[in-house]
Amino acid sequence: MGFGPGLKTLSAWELGGGPAAADGRCLRGDPAPSAPGSWAAALPLQMVAVYGVISRGRPPSDSLSAWEPGGGPPPPLLLLVAACWVIGPACTRLALALPAHLLHHPATVPLSSGPIGAHSASTAACCQRRITDACHVPCHPLVEPSDNGPLFTELKFYQRAAKPEQIRKWIHTHKLKYLGVPKYWGSGLHDKNGKSYRFMIMDRFGSDLQKIYEANAKRFSRKTVLQLSLRILDILEYIHEHEYVHGDIKASNLLLSCKDPDQVYLVDYGLAYRYCPDGSHKEYKEDPKRCHDGTIEFTSIDAHNGVAPSRRGDLEILGYCMVQWLSGHLPWEDNLKDPNYIQRKIAGLMDKCFPEKNKPDEIAKYLETVKLLDYDEKPLYQNLQDILLQALKARTTTKKRKKEAEKRTEAGAEDMECSDAHTEEAMQTRKWTVSLRPLSAR
């Protein structure tokens, strides 16, 4: 299996746990095959991409640098850069691994220029039609200018806390069916036209919870809210144990799995904060410059006061989400531009959102438990889950009993109908017999 001359067009290529090539051998400078189409189908996509970059004799002016896979084989991300430099008849299948929007991303060469544009527009259009629905692609590339702070923060979180082997180990030791933390597959830097771009590869997901919430008249059932919150508590315990807090929990940052829509994942770690670097918790310190960080609608009391995010802040935000999902609103939504107004409205939250008698006691108890936590105190996640789990089981038991009662009522009604029918039939028989007696007497 041959490759074109030199690897100088790729810089700082580092494999994180996988072999250098699919067959376990290092890339060599063998002559390129004369007919690329004869071997493309047999090569993994990342090898086709590498071949495309190094075999055309047209090395790009810029180079891919600092590629750091996260423990697995290189995902289709390498195509992001490699496909910029070569698209041939055999490379049509390369484009099929890229999301449609990525072909026009600033970090890639436009279809109208360079080697990509050298091929027919119909081929490109065909590729794009076939990749419009890209949910089948297992990985999703995030690309931003390299000076984008949130993506850099997110990248650091993934590198430290979301490698596939870390997540697999946690799922196994905690006996979970799954964990709603996206896996980190790799990242890197790419320079193009004098601009530097940072890219990262994570799992691909489906719709976000906000769209489903709005499509459902901005209400979730109590059962749904409790089930969601239990899964989110699993996520928060994991990221907290890995020295991070999320800081921006909300429905739009909760995505459904493409493979299993019953699984929900917490994404967007652009505001993630390392609250406990090397086991040392940050001190409580109010900073006016940091007041009201995060999504104002769900900002924690600590964030309102300019204090760095902590574990109790994440749990408080989840509580606000639960209240909104169940009641359909938060009492401060009518004036989100005034943080002081929001802080005043936090008092008496449950009474304002649930004015009737049917208040969710489990959410009130959850919020009270979180409110009692110290800034640097480790939450008892299992206790919080038990509060919600008991309510969920109680509702399930109540519904079962109600259904059983309804079945008994229906069965009783049927028995009564049968009894009435038998009684009526007996009465008619008696009348008929009585009416015959005079005839027989005669």
The residues assigned a catalytic role are 248
CB 224 within 8 Å of CB 174? no
How wide is the angle at C-alpha 200 spanned by C-alphas 197 and 205, nearest 5°? Answer: 130
The amino acid at residue 351 is D
Q: Which residues does residue 202 pair with via DSSP β-bridges, in sequence order?
A: 140, 184
CA distances from 325 to 30, 334, 351 (A): 60, 17, 16
CB 51 within 8 Å of CB 81? no
Is residue 18 exposed (0-12), middle (13-18) or buried (19+ Cβ within 10 Å)?
middle
Q: What is the dihedral of CA 272, 278, 281, 286, to 10 degrees?
A: -60
Cα 415 to Cα 25: distance, rounded to the nearest angstrom: 78
Cα 411 to Cα 413: distance, rounded to the nearest angstrom: 5
- Residue with token string 């049509």: 92
Four-residue CA torsion sign, 227, 232, 235, 237: negative
CA distances from 283 to 209, 286, 291 (A): 34, 10, 16
Cα 112 to Cα 230: distance, rounded to the nearest angstrom: 49
